Structure 1
Amino acid sequence: MTALLVVDGANVVGSVPDGWWRDRLGAARRLRDRLVAYSAEGGGAALPPGAVEPALTPPPEIVLVVEGAARGVEPVPGVRVEQADGSGDDRIVRVVAERAPGRRCVVVTADRGLRERVRALGAEVTGPRAVFPRRPGRP
């Protein structure tokens, strides 16, 4: 059974000050496209050292959760998109809770409260740099 990688779209996009706030939908689409490339590179094999151990190989099923102005991002092969009607965090918790028993799940977020909620459901967590590393020369 492949692992499940759930990405907190708002949190990951917000982790890089690149002007995302001017076009939240566009920023979410760029993240989705990066996740497609991430999946094609072999999933966890592309993670920075120590981001997730052991690496997620074979490539995981990737779920991008979007909310607010980022809703409307279309799913593409390799990335399922969940549109949160309300709280993105609540939708992420539901995705984690609904996974098959025993299925490995990693949630990508820096949100401390969300990290606690999904860990209580048995998920692992890693930060945004796992799938959206900072560009060279940026802190």
Structure 2
Amino acid sequence: QIDGEVVLRFALCYGFRNLRNVVTKIKSQKCDYHFLEIMACPSGCLNGGGQLKTSSGQSTKDLIKSLEATYSENVRISSPFDNFRISRLYEEWLGEPGSEEAKKYLHTEYHPVVKSITSQLLNW
């Protein structure tokens, strides 16, 4: 929104049923969206549009091996406690790893997120 006015409308369209509904609305010029993210999988695709594609003649296995090698090149593995800032943080503020104070500030919990479904994408 700009000055209270909607400038762009976005929507997620996952699954063929929802895609069919959106296409119908687009054809009848009743679709209010400027941008749609469309994926065939009902909950969005795990290996969706943002994933790297293999080059011609390259197998998926070869791509994965190549990526793993690239990502692990020159990686230095060290303990966080080798970092003086982390050690000082625990000494001055958090106490011991796993303490209530450390859990309060550094730990998180995961919970299910309710999916929002735009009314135009529902199958009535």
State the TM bucket, normalised to the shorter chain. Answer: under 0.3
TM-score by length of 1: 0.22
TM-score by length of 2: 0.24
- Structure number with greater CO (CA < 8 Å, separation at least 6) is 1
Bigger proportion of residues as strand? 1
